[in-house]
A and B are shown apart, each in its own frame.
Chain A
Amino acid sequence: MATVTDLKITELKLSEAEGGKWGMVIDQDICTGCQACVAACAMENNVSFVGDVDSGYGRSMHWIRIERFWEGEYPEVKMTPNQPMMCQQCGSATCEPVCPAFATVHSQAEQLNLQVYNRCVGTRYCANNCPYQVRSFNWRDYERPEPLPNQLNPDVTVRTRGVMEKCTFCIQRIHKAQDNAKAEGREVVDGEFTTACAQACPASAITFGRVDDSESLVSQLIKHGHGVKHLEELGTLPNVTYFKGG
């Protein structure tokens, strides 16, 4: 049986492990909870509109959601800052080892958690094992009435029924930026592109960039701020840093 000291040793080892490549910083004090990121993400990534009936069963599909929490007892209820929650692109993800089809794998090149839709057989083990509860499952082929198909993003696969999906850190934008940079014979510049949620955020609460580059804005924010990574104690090595109460 593992003792407390044993656990501390594993934590230490995990924190010394190599960090990710792409990371995000979310300032909860600036976030107004306007849901612009949620809408932008759904449009960028062809996320289906589930409808009220299935949402009632807890089958709503979002790659990013705004979590709200309350403090205190009625009538002195105080709302804590809004908390945008999406896939944390863990360095040691709990979703990966449970997939029997190897549909959710760790990208060696981009250090992201990938969801390979054509491999997914829909066991939903990954979603049940995700401590952040950020994966959503296509319970049906959701209707996309005209003219909605016209706004589908051609760079992103349209998922069908029985497939798990989650935030990809807009990997299609990463690839596009890398492709453009390579064609022009240069490296990808920090701030050259960003994710759909960060782009849409009117308060600029979301910052996206390279965490392995100490010069990038994200790295600077992490270095000088007082950020927390959610459920870090589980050893998941998340790549999203949250700022609150600063």
Chain B
Amino acid sequence: MIKRLFDWLKQPLGLIAVGIVFLAVFSVAAYGLYTTQQSPAQPIQFPHKTHVAFGIQCLYCHPGAAKGPSAGIPSQAKCWACHQQIAKTQTSVLLAPLKEHVESGTPIEWVPVAQVPDFVQFNHRAHVAAGQNCENCHGDMTTQTIAENPQVFNMGFCLDCHIKSAGEDQAKLNKLADCGTCHY
């Protein structure tokens, strides 16, 4: 039975079949890998670079970063404070969803991009207080439209920086390289 199958696979038609199966598996794998490298679909194609170009600070829209654990994603009220004074908001196709959300009073369901797992307790404030700038982890927003991760937020990425910033200070290293600093 298996010998007959091998014989059939060795003839030209069989080789073509093998090739098609191989190509199908390879392209699905490649597509899967490609999708993991894409920023998620957002309800509005929010251009970070445009807003940064206007001189708006990160902390204006994400004020939580200086105050507590979560940087926060602004509600449409914050968007509207500026956008209702901009004539383009009324006509732009890309901004139509914002207008709809404001008029109907429904929240914009942004998809968080920079996330850590549940077993990691991350606090923005400690990092901002330690003099870390947003772009050190989140990348250069002057070149990005929809936010994407410049790197994977894994433990190696965190710990590299923690050990580097502790330097020779043993007490600081104990604190920054301690499991209980992030995992509890």
State the A residues within 8 Å of B (CB): 105, 107-110, 112, 114, 116-119, 155-158, 168, 171-172, 175, 179, 182-183
Are A157 and B180 in touch, CB under 8 angstroms?
Answer: no
Give the contact stretch, choosing among B25-33, B118-126, B145-153: B118-126
Contact B126 A109 (CB under 8 A): no
B179 at interface, CB cutoff 8 A: yes
- Residues from chain B with Cβ under 8 Å of A110 in the complex: 178, 180
Q: How far is the CB of A237 from chain B (nearest CB, A)?
A: 18
Q: Is B15 at the interface (CB under 8 A from chain A)?
A: no
Enumerate chain B residues within 8 angstroms of A168, measured Cβ to Cβ: 180, 184
How far is it, in angstroms, between the C-alpha of A156 and the C-alpha of B181 when the chains are bound?
A: 12
23 contacts between A and B (CB under 8 A): A105-B179, A107-B179, A108-B174, A109-B174, A109-B175, A109-B180, A112-B180, A114-B178, A114-B179, A116-B179, A117-B119, A117-B183, A118-B183, A119-B179, A155-B121, A157-B183, A168-B184, A171-B180, A175-B123, A175-B181, A179-B123, A179-B126, A183-B125
Rounded to whole angstroms, the CA-CA distance of A155 and B120 in the bound complex is 10
When distances are taken between beta carbons in the complex, the residues of chain A under 8 Å from B126 are: 179, 182
Bound together, the chains give a CA A114 to CA B174 distance in angstroms of 14
CA distance A157 to B179 in the complex (A): 14
Decide: B178 and A175 in contact? CB cutoff 8 A. no
At the interface, yes or no: B117 with Cβ under 8 Å from chain A? yes
B129 within 8 A of A: yes
- 4 closest A-B pairs by beta carbon, nearest first, are A108-B174, A109-B175, A114-B180, A109-B178
**Cα A116 to Cα B182 with chains together (Å):** 9
Residues of A within 8 A of B181 (CB): 109, 175
Cα distance A1–B126 when bound, in Å?
52
Closest CB-CB distance, A8 to chain B, in whole Å? 32
Docked Cα-Cα span, A109 to B73, in Å, equals 33
CB distance from A137 to the nearest CB of B (A): 17
Name the distance in Å between B36's Cβ and chain A's nearest Cβ: 21
Flag if B123 contacts A114 (CB, 8 Å): no
Cα–Cα distance between A13 and B121 once the two chains are bound (Å): 37
Mark out the residues of chain B between 151 and 184 whose CB falls within 8 Å of any chain A CB in the assembled complex.
Answer: 174-175, 178-181, 183-184
Residue in B117, B119, B179 with the greatest tally of chain A CB atoms within 10 Å: B179
In the complex, which of the residues A109, A114, A183 contacts B184, with contact meaning CB atoms closer than 8 Å?
A114
For A156, what are the chain B residues with a Cβ–Cβ distance below 8 Å?
A: 184
* Min CB gap B66→A, angstroms: 10
State how many angstroms separate the Cβ of B55 from the closest Cβ of chain A.
27
Docked pose: A171 CA to B180 CA in angstroms: 8
Which residues in B have their C-beta under 8 angstroms from that of A158? Answer: 118
Interface centre among B117, B121, B125, B184 (most CB of A within 10 A): B184
Please name the residue on chain B nearest to A172 by beta carbon.
Answer: B184
Are B178 and A108 neighbours in the complex by a CB distance under 8 Å? yes
- A182 surroundings in chain B (CB, below 8 A): 126, 129
Q: Which residues of A contact B183 (CB under 8 A)?
A: 114, 116-118, 157
Question: In whole Å, how far is A100's beta carbon from the nearest beta carbon of chain B?
Answer: 16
Max count, chain B CB within 10 A of own CB: residue among A109, A112, A158, A175: A109
* Chain B residues with CB below 8 A from A118, complex form: 117, 119, 183
Give bound CA distance, A84 to B32, whole Å: 53
Residues of B within 8 A of A109 (CB): 174-175, 178, 180-181
Task: Tell me the minimal C-beta distance from B99 to chain A in angstroms.
Answer: 32
A168, B175: Cα distance in complex, Å: 16
Contacts A109-B181, A183-B129 known; 7 new A-B pairs at CB < 8 A? A107-B178, A109-B180, A114-B179, A155-B121, A157-B119, A175-B123, A179-B126
Which residues 122-152 of B sit at the A interface, judged by CB distance below 8 A? 123, 125-126, 129
When chains A and B are docked, how far (Å) is the Cα of A182 from the Cα of B123? 13
Chain B neighbourhood of A179, CB < 8 A: 123, 125-126
Once A109-B174, A109-B180, A157-B184 are accepted as A-B contacts, the answer to whether A172 and B121 lie under 8 Å apart by CB is yes
Closest to B183 in A: A116
